[in-house]
Every structure is written in structure tokens, then in C-alpha cells.
Amino acid sequence: MIDRDKIVAALRESRSFGATQRTEIDGTAVFLKTGPSSSYDMLSAEAEGLEELASPDAIRVPRVFAFGEEDGIAYLATEWLEMARASRDVETRLGTGLAALHRTTADRYGWHRDNTCGPTPQVNPWSDDWVEFYREHRLAFQLDLAARNGYGGALQERGARLLQRLDRYFEGYAPQASLLHGDLWGGNWGCCDGEPVIFDPAVYYGDRESDLAMTRLFGGFGRAFYSAYEDAWPLAPGHRERCDLYQLYHVLNHLNLFGSGYLGQAQRLIDNLL
């Protein structure tokens, strides 16, 4: 383990924040992510999320060396990973590993702390009811944020109708509270030393289908990945319809982060579901 004082010394030498960088400490390559002191909660939640994902030893994640706040700069120091092109075998191992990760479960949905999905707050109160959790703390949260950002009209009217009908998508289906990456798009996984690695999580415990829905939203995952996952743990009937439901959370988040370019996609997903 790298000495925290040496990480702080490297931080003071760089005097930068709001950036990521590679640095060498005692011959070890370190990935240093920094931000203003106000970003401490976000970075500490990311550190805890990485440690949570590492605990079942199902898929490789970057080792966390340290996180904290020093002289007005919040920081997270993790293992630096040299990425390479992923082969079909690596994608297969990713699918098998993700299924193993999802078999790590909790008694309830949520997590012990809130975190972020990208820079957007993500609230994770423990809940015994998955439908209620997803309704209130994922879709309703994003719809409320969209309203505050000026996206009203049909999005809010039809979004409210969807929230009222949410139970229909879970008739005969009660998902386990699986350990989730939470933001598993193509840019948050890679290949290092011939094995898959995942990073930049938005961890919580919920329906495993939501992780898989995110993988299908922006691409970056091949047929070998999905075949390996299905072989390891087949999905339940109705998962294709629920895929739209789970993608909606992330599309609404992109609407709130990046603007109206995602409005049409969000409305189409809601219309398809209704």
C-alpha cells in the first residue's frame, strides 16, 4: 500500500484540481483524481463503491490507495491501469464476471450512503420495495430535476402516468437486490493485463437488469459479453420491456446533464412503455 503522506505530497506538488492525472509514487503508477473540497463526498463515495465492487472478487476494479481532502483539494488515488484492446475472450470473461458480481446480494435495495451518477446526486435509502425505490429515487427524482431544468409539458404529464403504472412491469417478477456497478456504459470498462476491469461506479443494490440495460444504451459491449452473461445467469421473462424502463433513468440523467438533445429519446422511451 502506498503511504498516504506521499500521495498528499504529490497532490501539493501538482496544485491542480478538477482534473485527472498519472503520477509515480515509489515506483508505482497512481491515478489521481482531484476536485474542489466540495467534491469530497462524491470522491469518497466513488472510493467506497470501488471497494464494494472489489469485495466479491468477481471482476477486477482499480485498487483504492487513499482518498481525502487537503488544503481545499479533494482527492482520490487509485491504481493506474494500462488499458489494451479487449478480445472476445475478455468480453466473455466480463459477462461471466458481471453475473458473478450480481450474485452478491443484500437484504434490501439501496446502499448505506448516497453517491452520484456522473455528477448528478443519486440517493440510495434502504428499501424493502424495489418498485417503490425505483419509482421515487430513480425516475421521479430525475423527472423532478428535469422540471426544475425547464422540461415540462408532455415529458412530465406522460412521465407521471408511467410512474402510476410502474407495478405492471413487475407482475410475477421480484428481483434480488444485486450489487450493481450502476453506470456501466462502454467507457466504464476496459481490458488490463488480459482481463476485464470496471471503474467509475455509481454503486447500489438493485435489479441486475438495470446494469445490463445501461450496457445496451450507448454500445461498447459485444455479443460474447451478452452470451456469457446469459449462460451464467439467464434473464427472466419481461426483461426486454424492463430494459426501456431502466434505460429511461440514464436518458433522463443525460437530459439533465447535457440538455435538450436527449428530450426526444426520453419521450420515446416513455411512449413505448405506455
List, by residue number, the catalytic residues. 183
Cβ partners under 8 Å of residue 57, min gap 6: none
Q: In whole angstroms, how large is the CA radius of gyration of the chain?
A: 19
Residue 200: DSSP 8-state: S
Phi/psi of residue 110, nearest 5 degrees: 120, -150
Q: Residue length, the chain?
A: 274
DSSP letter string, 111-151? -SS-EEETTEEE----BS-HHHHHIIIIIHHHHHHHHHTT-
Contacts of 249 (CB under 8 A, 6+ apart): 134, 138, 139, 142, 210
Separation of alpha carbons 261 and 255, rounded Å: 7
